[in-house]
Structure 1
């Protein structure tokens, strides 16, 4: 009972500490502002006095919390010592006389021990409340001690405290622990630590703990309703420590994935113009692959959830208050820069960047940001063409490769199709060959599944739906290209082996009947370049060649 009472006292002390910490931080900010104006000398003196009182209060409360831990530990030790003394007394009394002066001390009750362990356990876990209290107390004590040091010096975590905080970080992935931390007002404590921290590693760990807590719906909702915490997290996007940025982006992405709180976060992000500049700066300057991947996922999620936010970010110049405004690139250029970095380091991570760039082409503001004078549209075209022609769906690949690469190919081809219609770019033989090959691989893969008959029709239909977007995008793009095809380019792809009877039949089978006009133009050119192939297409698909189109 005594231990439980001390735990209650500790919770009250923690709550008091959090409130004093916030008041102390607020006064510190006001003091810093007033210090620049000497005419407020009296108010300046009052602030100094209040800062001193606040510091003393925090030291006093920290000392009381440490005393509580000592009492709990000493109570446990005293209990063990008393049992040992009682045991020794009973033994000597029994040895000296057959008659006992008193009843022997009862043996330790296993039920009481188990009850004590259950009372100290967090929820259904084996994690100790006492240990968690002790760790948070040491964290608070460290931040309090840090206040008395030089304000411009960084502070390193001790190995023991860092190890224990990392354990809390891991523990927060358990729902019971996350709920307990929330009920115990740990987010407020961590917020105060983040605001005062001069240790990048400490900031990273605190944000990481909050990120793990946000993985659960109830705690995510509670965290998202803390406006002060949300403001600090958005400000952390301007930090220069990659691990802290990584954990911050992970936390934001986790919250945005919760439908109940996503609108709240989107509204706050819209109200913070500096967020766009911070993300652009990271994408255009960072070489940290993990960070670039997470930032790309965050930007892609924001664009996917809020079209108006995307429009404002691609059409609004850098804010005057942005410290990186002189070196900051626009959103489209930043996405391209990050994608270029990831192509060599982590090609599979390109999907979110290609999708983000493709989303830009779905709105007028985004297209203007890509194709206007001085924009990066042609650089994007060249970059994506290299990905499609050199990295994806190569001639020696099996048809099954489409299943692995469809997530990259679909946004890449949609992006190229949109840019081609606006920029009137030149189509290379490699790109035209890739478009034809994709349709050929799709036809061959479908045929192999039909011949093998190893899967149910329902399963085949479900997987066909996954490729539907890619095939439709490829067919539309190829149709537009064929309408502008000339004899020289057609001769080149035939000579290079990009257009064979097999690939041509597969492509035409996908194009008809929706894109019959483009096929007719292809047949008319084939009649001059490759008459035999033209006759095969006419015979197999009953197509005439009386339509002509423009030239590429």
Structure 2
């Protein structure tokens, strides 16, 4: 499969079409195998999508509401990457140690989603006239993005080993703030992945691990 290089600055429409086709391909086993069974093709596809996620879309300098503009393309990109990452064909390019920056990117998307959804909710309430209106249409698309993002992040967290976490802490991909955001979004659905991450985190940073365990307890009481 040839990888066509796009960015949000070149051809947004072309990128949307390309990602839509790629996502459709990966909805069936034959499609995902056609990508991952050839290491070089899979590597090119993965690196292209990783560059979009970590270096192009939803960057640290972007306003949180950028997810409104990028929600469709982000959902497609993350859905394809999640399928590739979870596939039974283990490839060097999907090794967790080579993809720690994805943790920071995914948690940043979740942080922006929280901000965006809160703003949408506040605007919906302030514009209301006391009647029960439907939620804004954007909410459904943002929810899809959140679901895809959470599934992908949970798979990544479940594979982390102590040495991965030590590196991610040092490079800033894992912080207490980002971890708390992950907990808020992943629990209770992905409790197994969260608990696995927190336990391994304890081997690298006991203080942060204890903080997260307390937050898990609080979130459990609120649910």
Question: TM-score category by the smaller chain?
Answer: 0.7 to 0.9
Match of 2:168 among 493, 506, 510: 493
C-alpha distance in 1, partners of 2:175/2:133? 33
Determine whether 1:441 maps to 2:106: no
C-alpha distance in 2, partners of 1:438/1:542? 24
Structure ID, larger Rg: 1
**How do residues 107-256 of structure 1 correspond to structure 2 at under 5 angstroms?**
none
> Which residue of structure 1 lines up, in the alignment, with residue 25 of structure 2?
360
Task: Give, in angstroms, the shift of residue 516 of structure 1.
Answer: 0.1
Q: Spell out, residue by residue over 1:421-476, the C-alpha distance to the aligned partner (whole angstroms, 9 max, x if none).
A: 22431231221211111112112333344556434474645332121111111111
Over aligned residues, Cα RMSD in angstroms? Answer: 2.3
C-alpha distance in 1, partners of 2:195/2:184? 13
Is the Cα–Cα contact under 8 Å of residues 107 and 178 in structure 2 kept in the other structure? Answer: yes
C-alpha distance in 2, partners of 1:476/1:348? 26
Match of 2:103 among 394, 409, 432: 432
> Which residue of structure 2 lines up, in the alignment, with residue 152 of structure 1?
none
Match of 2:182 among 478, 492, 507: 507
Query: Which has the higher relative contact order, 1 or 2, with Cα contacts under 8 A spaced 6 or more apart?
Result: 2
Task: Give, in angstroms, the shift of residue 394 of structure 1.
Answer: 1.0
Is the Cα–Cα contact under 8 Å of residues 120 and 136 in structure 2 kept in the other structure? Answer: no
Task: Give, in angstroms, the shift of residue 367 of structure 1.
Answer: 2.0
Determine whether 1:371 maps to 2:36: yes
**5+ residue gaps, structure 1:** 1-331, 544-552
**5+ residue gaps, structure 2:** 219-223
Q: Spell out, residue by residue over 1:254-298, the C-alpha distance to the aligned partner (whole angstroms, 9 max, x if none).
A: xxxxxxxxxxxxxxxxxxxxxxxxxxxxxxxxxxxxxxxxxxxxx
C-alpha distance in 1, partners of 2:117/2:10? 33
> Which residue of structure 2 lines up, in the alignment, with residue 391 of structure 1?
56
Match of 1:532 among 204, 207, 211: 207
Aligned length: 207
C-alpha distance in 2, partners of 1:489/1:495? 10
Is the Cα–Cα contact under 8 Å of residues 369 and 375 in structure 1 kept in the other structure? Answer: no
> Which residue of structure 2 lines up, in the alignment, with residue 403 of structure 1?
68
> Which residue of structure 2 lines up, in the alignment, with residue 16 of structure 1?
none
Higher deviation after alignment, 377-386 or 493-502? 493-502
SS in 2 for 1:542: helix
Go from structure 1 to structure 2 and tell me whether the alpha carbon gap of 1:508 and 1:458 turns closer, same or farther (over 3 Å shift): farther
Q: Spell out, residue by residue over 1:136-178, the C-alpha distance to the aligned partner (whole angstroms, 9 max, x if none).
A: xxxxxxxxxxxxxxxxxxxxxxxxxxxxxxxxxxxxxxxxxxx
C-alpha distance in 2, partners of 1:393/1:386? 11
C-alpha distance in 2, partners of 1:359/1:369? 12
> Which residue of structure 2 lines up, in the alignment, with residue 233 of structure 1?
none
Go from structure 1 to structure 2 and tell me whether the alpha carbon gap of 1:532 and 1:454 turns closer, same or farther (over 3 Å shift): farther
**How do residues 268-287 of structure 1 correspond to structure 2 at under 5 angstroms?**
none
Go from structure 1 to structure 2 and tell me whether the alpha carbon gap of 1:455 and 1:517 turns closer, same or farther (over 3 Å shift): farther
Task: Give, in angstroms, the shift of residue 536 of structure 1.
Answer: 2.1
Determine whether 1:471 maps to 2:146: yes
Go from structure 1 to structure 2 and tell me whether the alpha carbon gap of 1:368 and 1:501 turns closer, same or farther (over 3 Å shift): closer
Higher deviation after alignment, 514-523 or 433-442? 433-442
- What is the TM-score of this pair, normalised by structure 1? 0.35
C-alpha distance in 2, partners of 1:488/1:460? 43
> Which residue of structure 1 lines up, in the alignment, with residue 221 of structure 2?
none
C-alpha distance in 1, partners of 2:156/2:71? 21
Determine whether 1:454 maps to 2:119: no
- What is the TM-score of this pair, normalised by structure 2? 0.83
Is the Cα–Cα contact under 8 Å of residues 106 and 149 in structure 2 kept in the other structure? Answer: yes
